[in-house]
Homo-oligomer: A and B are copies of this chain.
Amino acid sequence: MEDLSRLCVHTITTKPWSLEIAVEQYARAGIPGIAVWRDVLEGRSISAVRSLIANAGLQVVSLVRGGFFAAADAAARKRAVEDNLRMIAEAAELGAPLIVLVCGADPAQPLAESRKQILDAIREIAPVAADAGVKLAIEPLHPMYTDTKSAIPTIKSANDACVELGLDNVGVALDVYHIWWDPEVENEIRRCGEIGALFGFHVCDWRVPTRDFLLDRTIMGEGCIDVAGIRRMVDAAGYTGFIEVEIFSSELWATDQSKYLQRIVQAYLEKV
């Protein structure tokens, strides 16, 4: 990218930092957007967090992450809906325009059942979100997470869900980590734009070899994903929003976070 005007960083990316330090450091690095992970809200006044971020000149891009709707146990499904309703209220108070949904999966039941429960739950919470001015983005998750994290493993299945739901405030958040392998990536990104569902775009990279199922992502350009290629597809599909850097890496979290943030900014300018 030619400048930092669309750059957003997820708080989880610099997990060792407190919210206060993250906000200060992002602002100092010229990063205009922040995606807030819900754990940083714990024990804090949400309106104070909102002020902290606004006073630093940052914009809240999204609140991460809701969902986990699928469960064989009906009481667990009810708790998930209630928790997502609380999160919608939090998003509204924080001024976050978007909630990213990791939709859930329960290995104790068929995938089709998990998918049905996901759609049922989104149907239930979406009107509340709409009233609060909050959009919901289904994030298709890499198929290595289909057992317990999401029964929506492809862009196509996320697009299909949006079409089936037919709700203006429900769309898709695309993360290169989850979608890069898919031979349908270009077709389905285009379709996502056509149906007006392209709500968010996350970047990082797939490390080769990947040594951990969860915590071994890397910085854009340091893995095998054609991040810039996918970014161009997303642009071509009409997306003009923030580009969110979301990296989970126990290796990178163990390094100096200021230098790591500099590497992220540099990679964003050169590799995205």
Contact = CB atoms under 8 A, between A and B. Distances in A.
Contacts of A130: none
B107 A181 contact: no
Contacts of A111: 180-181, 183, 226
Contacts of A30: none
A142 interface: yes
A147 B181 CA distance: 8
A144 B147 contact: no
Number of copies: 2
B107 A224 contact: yes
Given A156-B183, A183-B153, A208-B107, A147 B213 contact: no
Most chain B beta-carbon neighbours within 10 Å: one of A148, A157, A181, A210: A181
Nearest to A157: B183
A107 B182 CA distance: 14
B110 A206 contact: no
A229 interface: yes
Secondary structure of the A contact surface, majority rule: loop
A209 interface: yes
Interface in A129-148: 142-144, 146-148
A233 to B, nearest CB: 13
A148 B110 contact: no
A152 B229 CA distance: 19
24 contacts: A107-B223, A107-B224, A108-B224, A110-B226, A110-B229, A111-B180, A111-B226, A115-B183, A143-B143, A143-B144, A143-B182, A144-B144, A144-B210, A146-B181, A147-B209, A147-B224, A148-B209, A153-B181, A154-B183, A156-B183, A156-B184, A157-B183, A160-B183, A213-B213
